[in-house]
Structure 1
Amino acid sequence: MQTDWYIDQLKRPAYEAPAAPITWERSEYMSGTNDYIQVQPEMKSQIDALYRENPEEAKRMLGDNPYELKNILKYWVRSKDPQMHVIPTDSIIITVNKENVRNSGIRMISDSIPDYVCMKIDKSALHKNHLMMLEMLAQSDWKRPIYYAATVGKDLYLNLSDNFIQEGLAYRVSPFNTNGQFVDADKMYDNIMNKFRYGNISDPSLYLDQTVRGMCLTHRRMFSVLADELIRRGDKERALKVLEKGEKEIPDYAVSYTQNIGGTTEIARAWSQLGKKDKAVKLLTKVVESSKQYLDWYMLYSSNSLSSNAYECSVRLTEMLTAINIMRKEGLPNAEKYMAEAEQYYAALNAKGVNINLGN
């Protein structure tokens, strides 16, 4: 949403979806206009003083609450006065329309709906894509859901991740404080098991390039997240179906389980917790043996070359230890053997002057 042509498209209906809730005129977001708006929280003291000394005039100028999202957009960001083109706070208030929330179909994780959501701004300026997100949040008024794709960088979250509800490959913005860890298991199950189409990934005659494989790893991680949540809720029957579906749709021969970024260790742990110990051992062994191969290769480097690859060594050793720790916790074979080997790699890397940060 950083470019005018993309915003143009969002403002048009597409297929069965209505236009995105953006009310800005094109002249307000065309290239070179409102490319960014500075955040100036130091102005709060002046605004607060105005509301204390002349509240009626202040409300006429800036609304009942000058820090409420709709008022910031109306009286500041979209003001005709160039001097007002700032965001005068680092804490934006989003008013919650409780009736719209109840009718929106969102998972009600609490009987009590908050009156507002507080959005902390930790940037010195918000760019056009951020401003469009604020506009859609304001105009949707909790009637139409707003989602962030699971692949979007955290920089675009605007510190709303504590209000996310995961429903599949997207996070839904909710009025509830979820600490970013709530999964709507029922909706996610329906999406993954019944609605998503996997494009014949399992067809061995198809070539999957790096970009496609990356997306496949993202999908595979969704299977691990859902299975873990269902196990936590005691729904082992559906958790088993999820793992079997993932194994069928994104098989190892198409997208290798050696890449733990796809949630291999979490999937292995889920298999183990569902009584499928042999499947867990197979996956965890793949991760460990793959890590060993990479580390053996790096150990052939000279000290200087090895130092420049310290991060990659750390990643591989960390993945190896993650798999081993699950082996230990689940009582699976070869855990101690592999742990001894991991300690040897760690010592050998240190001896070559590579200090590995394992995050603990």
Structure 2
Amino acid sequence: YLIDDPRIKRKFVGLEEAVSWISSENPATKLRQAGDASFLPKKVIKYKVDKEAVIRNNVVRPQDYDKIVDTITIDLSGRNYLPKDEMMILDMLATNNWERPIYWAITVGRNKYLNLQEYFQVEGFAYRFVPISGVDNPERLAFGTVATDIMYDNMMNKFKYGNMNDPKVYIDENNSRMMTNIRNSFNRLATGLIEEGKKDSAIAVIDRCFELIPGSIVPYEYFTLELAENYYRAGAREKGKQILEEVFNTFDDELAYFFTMGVRFTNSAAVNEEIQRNLFYMQRIERTARNFEETELQEKIEASMRKHFETYNLL
């Protein structure tokens, strides 16, 4: 259980103290009213970073030594309990002292991050826990930092991909969602490379993504739009425009199909959610076309949007 014990005046406990408290057999560390269950007396845990151990064990790259933080805050506010798998993670953090890498798979749900996603370093299809603060943008599935050199080598050279782009191979719903995660990984790598000025490498990464996961196999979605934008940002305008048009055609066709289904279907929660999502994507596509001065395409998208919004408002 997680509680804020008023007997402890501090607003937090140290990580080692927290693990010791949870594992203690002392009756004072148990909740008698809950069958002597273990509890943590504060919902905020402070993890002091041993910078010497971090450097000694090559946890971060030399160019990032100056970014190592002094303390990591594990904020469990809003939660009332901690399952055993998360207690295990706290124990690993407290006892490992950066000697072995700790990773989260990209498919792990955000509710299992322990609010540590700010310190995730993406290296491919996994997040490595590092003492460097990065971004936390759940809407774009963008967490932490990108180790572009490590990730490029993994994604472009080391990882082996098989049959994702073979039209004879059936991709079920579960695998289709996994392909979306892979697109996002390529997109994050491309974004990181562009930010570092490595535009040619970014273009190669996006090319590889569409070679492996073409729209004919896995329908285009939000991350495809971001990949198109990264083509533009990297200077590959024609490639960006081609993908942008294909993404627009995909969502335009889907909306046209939805509006032929009849009110009984379009008023259902599931279909209505799909319609709203596609209308949002269309707005984003229009904004992208406008930002990159694709006037003809922008006008085409605007006309289509007006038609679809008029139809939607009549439902």
Task: Give the structure-1-normalised TM-score.
Answer: 0.75
Structure 1 runs of 4+ off > 6 angstroms?
A: none
Out of 72, 87, 101, the residue aligned to residue 18 of structure 2 is 72
Q: 110-119 or 188-197, which moves further after superposition? A: 110-119
Q: Which amino acid aligns with 2:146?
A: V
Q: RMSD value over aligned CA atoms?
A: 2.3
CA contact (8 A) 2:45 2:75 kept: yes
What per-residue deviation string (whole Å, max 9, x for no partner) do you get for residues 72-93 of structure 1?
1112344353437101111011
What per-residue deviation string (whole Å, max 9, x for no partner) do you get for residues 287-329 of structure 1?
2222122222222344453232321111111122222221221
| Number of the residue aligned with 2:139 | none
**Alignment CA distance shift 1:345-1:73 (3 Å):** same
CA contact (8 A) 2:229 2:240 kept: yes
Q: Which amino acid aligns with 1:165?
A: Q
**Alignment CA distance shift 1:297-1:204 (3 Å):** closer
What per-residue deviation string (whole Å, max 9, x for no partner) do you get for residues 186-233 of structure 1?
111111111111123234443333333322221122111111221121
**Alignment CA distance shift 1:215-1:163 (3 Å):** same
Rg larger in structure: 1
| Number of the residue aligned with 2:40 | 87
CA contact (8 A) 2:15 2:90 kept: yes
| Number of the residue aligned with 2:104 | 148
Distance 1:124 1:301 in 2: 45
Q: 294-303 or 122-131, which moves further after superposition? A: 294-303
Q: 267-276 or 189-198, which moves further after superposition? A: 267-276
| Number of the residue aligned with 2:81 | 125
Please list every run of 5 or more consecutive structure 1 residues that lacks an aligned counterpart in the other structure: 1-37, 50-64, 353-360
CA contact (8 A) 2:69 2:133 kept: no
SS class of match (1:114):
coil
Distance 1:226 1:117 in 2: 25
Q: Is 2:275 the partner of 1:319? A: no
Q: 166-175 or 184-193, which moves further after superposition? A: 166-175
Aligned residue runs from structure 1 range 1-360, under 5 A = 38-41=1-4, 43=5, 45-48=6-9, 67-79=13-25, 81=27, 82-83=30-31, 85-105=38-58, 106-107=60-61, 109=64, 111=66, 113-122=68-77, 123-179=79-135, 180-253=143-216, 255-256=217-218, 258-261=219-222, 263-303=223-263, 305-308=265-268, 309-332=271-294, 333-352=296-315
Tell me the percent identity. Answer: 29
CA contact (8 A) 2:228 2:239 kept: yes
SS class of match (1:46):
coil
| Number of the residue aligned with 2:138 | none
Number of corresponding residues:
295
CA contact (8 A) 2:12 2:44 kept: no
Q: What is the deviation of 1:176?
A: 2.3
Q: Which amino acid aligns with 1:329?
A: N
